[in-house]
Structure 1
Amino acid sequence: MKASLLMLLLSVLVLSTLVASIGTEGVGAVPDRARLLASKRVHNLYLVEGQDIVVQYSLYNIGTAPALNVQLTDAGFSSENFEIAAGQLQVKFDRIAPGANVTHSIVVRPTKSGLFNFTAAEVSYLPSEDSVDVQVGFTSEPGQGGVISQRDYDKKFSPHVFDWIIFALLLVPALLVHFLMWRDTSSKYISAPKPTVGKGSKKN
């Protein structure tokens, strides 16, 4: 009986010592690692053929360690449908600190109208300074967007200045004819002598 009680006390003592060592030495604690949240956003309200489209990428580190060797690559803009007006489709950031964010913008110009799928960009990085495994993720996906032709856009949103000028030029002859007729008529009445009223003779 005493032996079993002694073994129970020794087991409790060993277990408490192990728990204390885990708490003090940090065994089993989650290591510091970077974690990136990435977004891709199209800023234009209307996508028009031949006009600039601004695309912005945002990277935010919500982890507890800096993200190293961060590379952002977007393969969603093919040369058949878009031309790059400004910026680069592949960019590198050496370090993104915990709680920090970075942004990158490009300007693309669609060469044809139609429906296009704006896919996600790829993000790769090292989650910690001692890590050798590259973490790969993706940005948010804007989805499908319609690029309208320049002609349709002008029909809907153009101020039609040229059309108004043509309308005014066509309206001038009609107004001029009426003005000349009015001036001719009024000049006849103005230049005509006023009739004089003579006094009648009195009879004796």
Structure 2
Amino acid sequence: MKALIFVILLASLPSRTWADIDKDEKEIEKRAVLLFSKETTWNYPLTFGQEIPIHYKIYNTGNIEARGVHLEEQWESGFGEIRSGSLSAFFPVIAPGENVTHTLVFVPKPNDTLKEETIKFFRNTSFIEYVSDPEKPEDIHRVWSSNHASRSLGTQMLSERQLELSPTRKTQTWVLFTLWVTVLSAFPFYLFWKNQKRSLTVQEWYKKELGLHDHRIVRHRAFETTTAAVVQLPRFETHRELFHDDDRIPYQLGYEHPNPWVEKIFNKYAAKVPEPGTNALDIGRHKYTPKARPY
């Protein structure tokens, strides 16, 4: 009994016949379907006067021909020049499985609204209108293009925030590269020159403080014992013995750079430059008696 009721209910449900399915499939097959793409190519960076080709491609993926295909490009004159091609094109018939192409060559010109209008021109999509069913000529379809320039142009806009159409930057790039290389190469020479200048400054300081005609300072062992012999000072040479305040150990000033405490003691206890032939042991003897210094 339950099985009989189930069969009756199943038979009462609305169902589609195979004829209806075939009819729908035939109706679907009787339609032209067009795919439309717009591709913009250029050599980066964009420059004034550069020819920018724009390629339009239309594909018929339907099973019947498309009639009255009309291509229209949205463009406002004044910011560029159309070198070749046209902004609109008409194709009477596009057979199934075939495609047609249209090429437009655009040359940008410099003016106040160049950047904005050029970006708009590259990023905006175009459209085509066609009759998909010859039996219904009033049924006109409009298809918008897929823009292949939007991704690359968007990347540039994200990195530069605006598409800069300017003369080629090769010269600027080489100038910046030369400046960087010059700075990096000159830095070691600058450090060497600075150190050399400091060394020369120390020598000038010796000349100024000692009143010498020659910056050389003689090293000798005249103070090894308290009974050292007389040291003759040749022309353009002199000798200084510096003593520490605490242990009165003699320090000889040579070619080394003076440190602060040596400068302080030198300025405090150094005598005037002796004349040639002066006994070196008499220098500063009125204050200090040098002790023997082991070497």
Deviation of 1:28 (Å) = 3.0
Give the 3 Å change call, closer, same or farther, for CA 20–127 of structure 1 in structure 2.
closer
Q: 1:156 & 1:101 partners in 2: Cα distance?
A: 44
Q: Could you say which residue in structure 2 is the equivalent of 1:88?
A: 86
Give the 3 Å change call, closer, same or farther, for CA 20–49 of structure 1 in structure 2.
closer
Q: Structure 1: where are the runs of 5+ without partners? A: 159-204
Q: Could you say which residue in structure 2 is the equivalent of 1:201?
A: none
**Residue 142 of structure 2 is aligned to residue 126 of structure 1:** no
TM-score by length of 2: 0.44
Deviation of 1:45 (Å) = 2.7
Q: Could you say which residue in structure 2 is the equivalent of 1:114?
A: 115
Q: Secondary structure, in 3 states, of the residue corresponding to 1:28?
A: helix
Q: Secondary structure, in 3 states, of the residue corresponding to 1:48?
A: coil
- Return the letter of the residue paired with 2:78: E
Give the 3 Å change call, closer, same or farther, for CA 103–19 of structure 1 in structure 2.
same
Q: 1:34-183 alignment to 2 at 5 Å?
A: 34-46=32-44, 47-76=46-75, 78-112=76-110, 114-115=115-116, 116-117=119-120, 118=122, 119-131=124-136, 132-141=138-147, 142-143=149-150, 144=153, 146-150=163-167, 152-153=168-169, 155=171
- Return the letter of the residue paired with 1:134: I
Report how many residues are paired. 149
The answer to which of 83-92 and 61-70 deviates more is 61-70
- Give RMSD over aligned pairs: 3.3
Q: Structure 2: where are the runs of 5+ without partners? A: 157-162, 175-295
Q: Deviations over 1:160-195 (max 9, x none)?
A: xxxxxxxxxxxxxxxxxxxxxxxxxxxxxxxxxxxx
Structure possessing the higher relative contact order (Cα contacts under 8 Å, 6 or more residues apart): 1
Deviation of 1:114 (Å) = 2.8
Q: Which has the greater radius of gyration?
A: 2
Identity %, equivalent residues = 28
- Return the letter of the residue paired with 1:48: T
Structure 1 stretches of 4+ with a deviation exceeding 6 A read: none
Q: Secondary structure, in 3 states, of the residue corresponding to 2:55?
A: strand
Deviation of 1:91 (Å) = 0.3
TM-score by length of 1: 0.61
Q: Could you say which residue in structure 1 is the equivalent of 2:261?
A: none
Q: Could you say which residue in structure 2 is the equivalent of 1:163?
A: none
Q: Could you say which residue in structure 2 is the equivalent of 1:28?
A: 24
Q: 2:84 & 2:36 partners in 1: Cα distance?
A: 21
Deviation of 1:153 (Å) = 4.1
Deviation of 1:63 (Å) = 1.3
